[in-house]
């Protein structure tokens, strides 16, 4: 056990922020928040707050990155200096470079990139406040920004992490649960197709726990998917009302 580890599950089976094990944090979603981007979204999972912006399909610069048969998808994930409890250096870290790749790969299977050869689709994920689950909130936001940009997709992608804390599997872990827990498993999926596009595991789970964790993640992903669709609908009803 790590030194100074707080109790993560209390005698009533509640978590450090009073949630039940299978409960998501409070989720807020807004689509189309940036005028200058082709598509954008803001997503909150509790205290984790991210913005995603999408530009494209557009001309590829530098030219040599162009692909003859499909769009090149590029992604940049960053955490703002003030997004963490201790100031984060603004220089791109190895973690940010890795997460940029992870987020891109979680979204790529959903994007019909063959419809736009020789173009670029650029995805930016900016973490404004970090409290665990920034990659998962980032994927959820980026999928909405892609949809808002009108980019054809097989399905939206939604994402959440399951963790194991004090021996209990819990949905949507926050930073303390991530720091002191035994395992952290972020999952992304195309919910209506039931297809997983990302799964990572940090820590140890038994095969039985892994199955349960995956089922819990898919349950959370489906709940988030409903909120994504609701947010898209809200934006387009508002736009429709302005046109009428
Ligand atoms: P994720 O944000 O997807 O859960 P990690 O597991 O790498 O990714 O990070 C867990 C949490 O740890 C982050 O959400 C953030 O709250 C915190 N964190 C990550 N990197 C830093 C950093 N450089 N400085 C301070 N806190 C950080």
Cα separation, 105 vs 85, in Å, equals 28
Ligand 1 center–CA 195 separation, angstroms = 26
For 213, phi then psi, to 5°, come to -65, -40
pLDDT of residue 240: 78
b/e sequence 204-218, b meaning 16+ C-beta within 10 Å: ebeeebbeebbebbb
Establish whether residue 130 lines the binding site of ligand 1, counting it when its CB lies within 6 angstroms of any ligand atom. Answer: yes
Establish whether residue 19 lines the binding site of ligand 1, counting it when its CB lies within 6 angstroms of any ligand atom. Answer: no
Establish whether residue 177 lines the binding site of ligand 1, counting it when its CB lies within 6 angstroms of any ligand atom. Answer: no
Parallel/antiparallel/unpaired status of strands 168-171 and 158-165: antiparallel
Q: Which domains does the chain have, with CATH numbers?
A: 27-243 (3.30.230.70)
Parallel/antiparallel/unpaired status of strands 158-165 and 120-129: unpaired
Establish whether residue 178 lines the binding site of ligand 1, counting it when its CB lies within 6 angstroms of any ligand atom. Answer: yes
pLDDT of residue 1: 47
Cα separation, 77 vs 199, in Å, equals 18
Q: Give nearest CA residue, ligand 1 atom 26.
A: 84
For 5, phi then psi, to 5°, come to -70, 125
Mutate to test the pocket of ligand 1, among 80, 83, 163, 178 (most ligand atoms within 8 A of CB): 178
Give 99-129 pLDDT, tens digit per residue.
999 999 999 999 999 999 999 999 999 999 9
pLDDT of residue 3: 60
Neighbours of 51 (CB within 10 A): 22
Cα separation, 28 vs 168, in Å, equals 26
Establish whether residue 164 lines the binding site of ligand 1, counting it when its CB lies within 6 angstroms of any ligand atom. Answer: no
User: Which pTM does this prediction carry?
Assistant: 0.96
Establish whether residue 132 lines the binding site of ligand 1, counting it when its CB lies within 6 angstroms of any ligand atom. Answer: yes
**Secondary structure (3-state) at 187:** strand
As a three-state string, the secondary structure of 54-98 is EEEEECCCCHHHCCCCCCEEEEEEEECHHHCCCCCCCCCCHHHHH
Cα separation, 25 vs 128, in Å, equals 17
Spans in the chain with pLDDT lower than 70: 1-3, 244
């Amino acid at each position: 056990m790590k030194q100074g580890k707080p109790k993560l599950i209390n005698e009533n089976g509640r978590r450090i922020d009073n949630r039940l094990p299978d409960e998501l944090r409070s989720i807020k979603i807004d689509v189309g928040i940036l005028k200058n981007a082709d598509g954008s979204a803001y997503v909150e999972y509790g205290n984790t707050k991210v913005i995603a912006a999408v530009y494209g399909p557009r001309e590829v610069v530098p030219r040599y990155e162009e692909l003859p048969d499909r769009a090149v998808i590029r992604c940049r994930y960053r955490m703002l200096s003030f997004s963490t409890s201790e100031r984060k250096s603004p220089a791109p870290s190895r973690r940010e470079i890795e997460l940029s790749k992870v987020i891109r790969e979680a979204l790529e299977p959903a994007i019909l990139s063959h419809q736009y050869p020789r173009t670029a689709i650029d995805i930016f994920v900016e973490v404004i406040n970090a409290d665990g689950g920034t990659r998962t909130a980032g994927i959820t936001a980026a999928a909405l920004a892609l949809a808002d940009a009108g980019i054809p997709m097989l399905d939206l992608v939604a994402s959440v992490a399951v963790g194991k804390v004090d021996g209990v599997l819990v949905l949507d872990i926050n930073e303390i649960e991530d720091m002191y827990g035994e395992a952290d498993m972020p999952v992304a999926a195309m919910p209506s197709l039931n297809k997983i596009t990302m799964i990572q595991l940090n820590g140890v789970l038994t095969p039985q726990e892994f199955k349960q964790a995956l089922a819990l993640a898919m349950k959370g992903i489906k709940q988030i998917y409903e909120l994504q669709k609701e947010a898209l609908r809200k934006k387009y009803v508002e736009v429709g009302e302005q046109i009428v």
